[in-house]
Amino acid sequence: MRRLVPTSVLALLALSLPAAAQTLRTGAVSGVVKDSLGHPIPNVEVTAFKSSASVRTDSAGRFLLAALPYGRTDVGFRRLSFEPVILVITIPPADTTEVQVILGVAAQQLTGVVIEAHPDQLRQLVAFENRRRQGVGHFITREQIEKRNPLLLSDMVRSIPGMILISETGRTTLRFSRTARNNCPPQFFIDGVQAAQFNIDDMPARDVEGVELYAGSVGLPPEYNRATSTAICGTVIIWTRIPTTAKTRSSPPGS
């Protein structure tokens, strides 16, 4: 006896075939990113240029880029303080290519440093110390960073009350507990200049002189609490290091 297949079933099969074929035409690339000493590098931006897909490495330096068109594609790896790398990788259909990437530290040509070239930042660091003594907000000093020697700057805020670190697609983001439920990102300032779409680990800990954290507008210096600011979500102020600053502070005038 001949059975008739309902038209609705045939239509469903016709729709599913292109989707299945599309799945077979995609693949993935995964791997780990390390430095020249073999240490994993977190928070590396990994981008497949052909599809514009992008992820960041996790705390173990690992990543996964999925649903990529099969065939040859350029994959870029970049992170602050490291030389960027672009690899031509063959993506197999319905399979995953495993790679290991080594990033070298970016060589920076340094010119002679004259401490008088940074009077504004030195004054701002004096203001940082004054605010720290007042005890409003939370502060991280260079001495604390050197004592703990963290891999990431976010490691310095884990023990601070009211701070929450959230892992999103291999990237650690900072939220203040009072606004974390609304996923409200804090505003960031680097040496007094606001930084858009910045994250706590975008700044290497070794380059930081001090950090100020304010949960809201209370105690926040007026210059960071502007009418258009998002201070309600919290504020993070990062001060970068000045060469010879430590020596200058410890030396008496005229020495």
Which fold, 115-250?
A: Ferric Hydroxamate Uptake Protein; Chain A, domain 1 (2.170.130)
Q: What confidence score (pLDDT) does residue 155 get?
A: 93
Q: Report the predicted TM-score, pTM, of the whole model to 2 decimal places.
A: 0.51
Q: What confidence score (pLDDT) does residue 249 get?
A: 42
Confidence grade of residue 105 (pLDDT, cut at 50, 70, 90): confident
Give the span between the Cα atoms of 168 and 242, in whole angstroms. 32
Q: What confidence score (pLDDT) does residue 195 get?
A: 87
What strands, in cross-sheet order, belong to the sheet with 53-56? Answer: 53-56, 45-48, 71-78, 85-91
What mean pLDDT do residues 56-69 have? 91
In the chain, the DSSP E strands lie at 26-35, 45-48, 53-56, 62-69, 71-78, 85-91, 96-103, 138-141, 163-168, 171-176, 187-190, 193-195, 208-214, 235-240
Which fold, 26-103?
A: Immunoglobulin-like (2.60.40)
* Contact status, residue 29 vs residue 65, Cβ threshold 8 Å: yes
Q: What confidence score (pLDDT) does residue 119 get?
A: 63
Q: What confidence score (pLDDT) does residue 2 get?
A: 53
CB neighbourhood size of 191 (10 A): 16
Q: What confidence score (pLDDT) does residue 178 get?
A: 78
Question: Does position 252 have pLDDT exceeding 90, yes or no?
Answer: no
Question: Does position 14 have pLDDT exceeding 60, yes or no?
Answer: no
Question: Does position 246 have pLDDT exceeding 60, yes or no?
Answer: no
pLDDT tens for each residue of 85-100: 999 999 999 899 999 9
* Contact status, residue 177 vs residue 163, Cβ threshold 8 Å: yes
Question: Does position 17 have pLDDT exceeding 70, yes or no?
Answer: no
Q: What confidence score (pLDDT) does residue 1 get?
A: 52
Out of 20-34, 197-211, 226-240, least confident range: 20-34
What mean pLDDT do residues 225-252 have? 70
Give the span between the Cα atoms of 66 and 48, in whole angstroms. 10
Out of 9-23, 74-88, 116-130, least confident range: 9-23
Q: What confidence score (pLDDT) does residue 20 get?
A: 46
**Which of 229, 234, 227 minimizes the C-alpha distance to 200?**
234
Domain boundaries, the chain: 26-103, 115-250
Give the span between the Cα atoms of 199 and 105, in whole angstroms. 21
Out of 101-105, 168-172, 193-197, least confident range: 168-172
Confidence grade of residue 25 (pLDDT, cut at 50, 70, 90): confident
**Which of 196, 195, 197, 175 minimizes the C-alpha distance to 238?**
195
**205 in helix, strand or coil?**
helix
What strands, in cross-sheet order, belong to the sheet with 62-69? Answer: 62-69, 26-35, 96-103
Confidence grade of residue 235 (pLDDT, cut at 50, 70, 90): very high
DSSP structure class, residue 251: S
Question: Does position 182 have pLDDT exceeding 80, yes or no?
Answer: no
What mean pLDDT do residues 241-251 have? 50
Give the span between the Cα atoms of 94 and 89, in whole angstroms. 15
What mean pLDDT do residues 146-170 have? 88
Q: What is the mean pLDDT of the chain?
A: 81
Q: What confidence score (pLDDT) does residue 225 get?
A: 86
Give the span between the Cα atoms of 107 and 64, in whole angstroms. 28
